[in-house]
Amino acid sequence: MCEYCGCGIPDGPPQHNHEHENVAVSPVYKDLLAANDHIAQHNREHLRRMGSFFVHLTSSPGSGKTTLLEKTVESLKGKLSMGVIEGDVATENDAERMRAMGIPTQSIVTDGACHLDAKQVHHALGHIAEDGKFDLLFVENVGNLVCPADFDLGEDQRVVLVSVTEGDDKPEKYPPIFRHADVLVISKTDLLPYVDFDIEKVKKHARVISPRIRFFELSAKTGDGIAEWATWLTSLVPGK
């Protein structure tokens, strides 16, 4: 494991840089990613055979991923079957929040590693599948905008959250995570009157990095935008 960031990458020099698209990538790291991608594709094919749609949520800590999941469950419970895999460096706090809502949930505690990988998700799927088939499976990654960027988990859609309290320069500062994103959720919009955050600036820079990216603006606190988000999720499930 990389002793400088705890990412699971073999030990490297202090200048180790996660934005691997901009630096020389070692053969060992290429092999690690290739192995990960192989398992990710297996995850994807397995879930598609089950008729499940896999949504991967990632963001920096505190952007509201778990709260968004809670609001999503409130909106869709009884309409769609859902399962959740929660990734955290320590504790099962977020997993317990989902279990309290009656949602089958499997926790992955990374013990210091800063992202999930496809193998961890594969093992978690083996446990959560005992609870049955899901229309929607959510995986909430460890809070981090750097380390998860390179690691495909087998998702159908990768969703990145940016809260308005974080600043509007995140796509410029962390381009790899946005380059692989299908959706950008701008969260905590109820706080816009109190912070210096330019939504159009964020969208503009995100589109430069990923022209196909879709946007949602929402507040889990007020409920603004949740209905649109829930409608979109429902549209992803075949036959719904």
| C-alpha span between 26 and 92 (Å, rounded) | 34
| Position 30 in a domain | yes
| Position 3 in a domain | no
| Position 5 in a domain | no
Render 15-50 in DSSP notation, one character per residue: T--S-GGGS---HHHHHHHHHHHHHHHHHHHHHHHH
Q: Is the pLDDT of residue 61 over 80?
A: yes
| Position 13 in a domain | no
| Position 195 in a domain | yes
| C-alpha span between 42 and 55 (Å, rounded) | 16
Digit-coded pLDDT (tens) for 92-131: 999 999 999 999 999 999 998 999 999 999 999 999 976 6
**Helices marked H in 64-198 — which ranges?**
65-76, 93-99, 118-128, 170-173, 175-179
| C-alpha span between 143 and 155 (Å, rounded) | 17
Q: What mean pLDDT, rounded, does the chain reach? A: 89
pLDDT, position 29: 77
Q: Are 180 and 158 in contact (CB under 8 A)?
A: yes
| Position 6 in a domain | no
Residue 233 φ/ψ, nearest 5 degrees? -60, -45
Q: 33 lies in which domain range?
A: 20-236
The tally of domains found in the chain comes to 1
Digit-coded pLDDT (tens) for 164-194: 999 999 999 999 999 999 999 999 999 999 9
Query: Average pLDDT, stretch 63-89?
Result: 97
pLDDT, position 131: 64
b vs e for 2-23, b when ≥16 Cβ sit within 10 Å of the residue's Cβ?
beebbbbbeebeeebebebeee
- Residue 92, domain CATH: 3.40.50.300
| Position 11 in a domain | no
Non-local (6+) Cβ contacts of 52 within 8 A are 83, 133, 134, 135, 136, 137
Q: Report strand pairing: 157-163 vs 183-187.
A: parallel
| Position 231 in a domain | yes
Q: Which three-class secondary structure state does DSSP give residue 72?
A: helix
| C-alpha span between 162 and 182 (Å, rounded) | 14
Digit-coded pLDDT (tens) for 188-225: 999 999 999 999 999 999 999 999 999 999 999 999 99
